[in-house]
A and B are shown apart, each in its own frame.
Chain A
Amino acid sequence: MDYDEVVSGLILELRRGTLILLVLSQLKEPMYGYSLVKKLQDNGIPIEANTLYPLMRRLESQGLLMSEWDTRESKPRKYYRITDDGLIIYEKIKKHWKEFSHNIDNLLEG
C-alpha cells in the first residue's frame, strides 16, 4: 500500500472546505491574491497560488467576496474583500467549525 499517496489524497479532501473558511477569515481588509498566499504560508498554511486564485474568483461569483482593481501603483492589482453576505456566512461556518473541531478533538483523544 502506498501510504503517502493515500494520506496526501485524504489531506487534500480535509483541506478543501477549511481553505474557504480561512480565506473568508482573512479578507475583512482588502488583500490581493499573492499577499494572501504569503500570509497563509507564513502562518503555517501552505497553499498554492493556482488553488487560491481560482477559489477567490469562485467565491466572488457566489457573492461572498468582491473585488476591485487598484491601478494607483506601478503594478495593477486586484484586491478582494469580504461582502456583507460573506461576513454573515463566515460567522456561521466559523461557529460550526469550532463546535465540529471541538467534538472531533474529544473523539480523537477519547
Chain B
Amino acid sequence: MNNDLIERYIYAVTKRMPEKTKNDVSDELRGLIDDMLCERCGDVVPSEKDIKVVLTELGSPQELYEKYNTDSKKCLIGSPYYSTYKYVLKIVLICVGVGIVISVAASGMFDILKTAYAGEISEGISYAQPWINLFINIFTMLPSGMLWAFAFVTLLFAFFYHNDIKIDTSGNLDNLPPVPKKKQTISKSDSIVGIAFLVVFLMVFLLAPQIFCVIVTSKNLFIPIFNVEMIRAIWYIIVLFALAGVIREVVKLIERQYNKRVMITTIVVDIVSAVLAVWWLYSDRIINAEFSNNITTLFEEDFLINIFLNFNRFFLVCILFALILDAGTAVVKTLRK
C-alpha cells in the first residue's frame, strides 16, 4: 500500500497547525483514511488509484486545513476596522506625499539658491545640478516615505484588530454620539494640514536642518543656525514628536468632533510633545556655535540679537505656546455646551 502518498497528504494538511493539535489531527486523519479505504476495498489491498480517489474525496490539503482552522481572525485587518483603516490610510498617504514633496522641494530650493548666491560652482558642476538632485530626491524619497507610512498605518490597525481595541464607541444605542453642534465638528482639512505640517517639519529637520541659516551675501557666508550634527544625533526626538502629533490628528479624523476622547488624547499628546520639545531645545547644544559667536556681527538691532542669542529658547516658547493653544482649544470646544 502506498503509505507515502497518504503521509504526504496528512503532512500537507497539518504542517501549519499548532504543535499541540498537529499530532492528534494526523492520527485522526490516518484512521479516517484507513476507514475510508476499508469501506472502499474491503479486504483487498487498496491500489494507488483507490488511495487517490479517497484523498480526492477528502478535498485538497489546503481546503481541509481551512476547515480545521478555527481562528476567527483569518485576515490582517477585518471588519469593523477595515473601513476606518482605508480612510486613515488614504489621508495619511496624501499627507505624507504632499509633505515629502514640499519639504524636499524646500531643501532643494535652498541648494539652488545657495549655488546661485554663493557662487559655489566649481569646474564640472552646472547650475542644473541642484535641480537634478531635487528631482532625484523627490523620486527616491517619495516611494520609501509612502512605504513607511503604509507599513505604519497597516501595523497599527492590524494591532487594533487582533487585540480588539475599540476605536469606535458607537456600538450600542445608548452610546450613539450626539449629532455634533456646528462649533464642535473637526474639519477634515485641518487634520490633513496638521499631518502635512508635521511631515514637513520632520523631513526638513531630518534631512536638511542646514536650510535654517543666515546668508551674508557680501561675505559669501552661509552660517546654519542649528548644530546639524547634534540634530542628526538626536533624530529620534523629532520622530517621536511628529509621531505623537500624527496620532493626535488621526484620532481627530476618526472622531470628527470634539469629545472626551479627542480632548484626552490631545492633552496627553500635547504634554508628551512639550516634554520632547523641552528635551530637544532647552540646551544650547542644538545651536551652531559658529552662529552664536557671530551674532553680534551679523545683526545690528538689539531686538534681533536678543532673539537669536536665545534662539533655541525662543523656538521652544513658540512650540509650547502652540501646544497650549491646541490643548486649550480642545478643552474649550469639548466642554462648550
A13 to B31, CA, bound (A): 29
A18-56 interface with B by 8 A CB criterion: 32-34, 48-51, 53-54
Contact partner of A61 (CB less than 8 A), chosen from B34, B35, B70, is B70
A54 to B27, CA, bound (A): 14
Contacts of B24 in A (CB 8 A): 78
Contacts of A50 in B (CB 8 A): 57-59, 63-64, 67
Interface membership of A94, Cβ < 8 A: no
Contacts of A53 in B (CB 8 A): 28-29, 32, 68
Interface membership of B36, Cβ < 8 A: yes
User: Do B68 and A54 touch (CB < 8 A)?
Assistant: yes
Nearest-neighbor residue (CB-CB) of A78 within chain B: B28
Nearest-neighbor residue (CB-CB) of B64 within chain A: A50
B66-96 interface with A by 8 A CB criterion: 67-68, 70
Contacts of B63 in A (CB 8 A): 50
A39-81 interface with B by 8 A CB criterion: 48-51, 53-54, 57-58, 61, 69, 75-78
User: Do B31 and A77 touch (CB < 8 A)?
Assistant: yes
Contact partner of A49 (CB less than 8 A), chosen from B21, B27, B36, is B36
User: Do A33 and B68 touch (CB < 8 A)?
Assistant: no
Minimum distance in angstroms from B103 CB to a CB of chain A = 53
User: Do B67 and A34 touch (CB < 8 A)?
Assistant: no
User: Do A34 and B32 touch (CB < 8 A)?
Assistant: yes
B 38-72 to A, binary, CB cutoff 8 A, 1 in contact else 0: 01000000000000000001110001100110100
User: Do A58 and B28 touch (CB < 8 A)?
Assistant: no
A50 to B24, CA, bound (A): 15
Contacts of B32 in A (CB 8 A): 33-34, 49, 53
Size of B's binding interface in residues, CB under 8 A = 20
How many contacts A-B (CB < 8 Å)? 46
A50 to B55, CA, bound (A): 10
Contacts of A32 in B (CB 8 A): 31
Minimum distance in angstroms from B30 CB to a CB of chain A = 9
User: Do A57 and B68 touch (CB < 8 A)?
Assistant: yes
User: Do B27 and A34 touch (CB < 8 A)?
Assistant: no
Minimum distance in angstroms from A15 CB to a CB of chain B = 15
Contact flag A49-B58 (CB < 8 Å), given A33-B32, A78-B28, A78-B31: yes
User: Do B68 and A78 touch (CB < 8 A)?
Assistant: no
User: Do A76 and B70 touch (CB < 8 A)?
Assistant: no
Contacts of A61 in B (CB 8 A): 70
Minimum distance in angstroms from B43 CB to a CB of chain A = 14
A51 to B59, CA, bound (A): 10
Minimum distance in angstroms from A63 CB to a CB of chain B = 14
Minimum distance in angstroms from A60 CB to a CB of chain B = 10
User: Do A54 and B67 touch (CB < 8 A)?
Assistant: yes
User: Do A34 and B68 touch (CB < 8 A)?
Assistant: no
Nearest-neighbor residue (CB-CB) of B28 within chain A: A78
A96 to B59, CA, bound (A): 34
A27 to B14, CA, bound (A): 26
Contacts of A76 in B (CB 8 A): 27, 31
* Most chain A beta-carbon neighbours within 10 Å: one of B57, B59, B64, B67: B67
Minimum distance in angstroms from A38 CB to a CB of chain B = 8
Contacts of B70 in A (CB 8 A): 54, 57-58, 61
Contact partner of B67 (CB less than 8 A), chosen from A51, A69, A77, A78, is A51
Minimum distance in angstroms from A82 CB to a CB of chain B = 18
A78 to B21, CA, bound (A): 13
B1-37 interface with A by 8 A CB criterion: 21, 24-25, 27-29, 31-32, 34-36
Q: Can you give 17 contacting A-B residue pairs, CB < 8 Å? A: A33-B31, A34-B31, A34-B35, A34-B36, A34-B39, A48-B57, A50-B63, A53-B28, A54-B64, A54-B67, A54-B68, A57-B21, A57-B68, A58-B70, A69-B27, A75-B31, A75-B35
Closest 5 A/B residue pairs (Cβ): A34-B35, A54-B67, A54-B68, A50-B58, A50-B59
Beyond A53-B29, A53-B68, A78-B31, list 19 extra A-B contacts (CB 8 Å): A32-B31, A33-B31, A34-B32, A49-B32, A49-B36, A50-B57, A50-B63, A50-B67, A51-B67, A53-B28, A54-B64, A54-B70, A57-B21, A57-B25, A61-B70, A76-B27, A76-B31, A77-B31, A78-B24
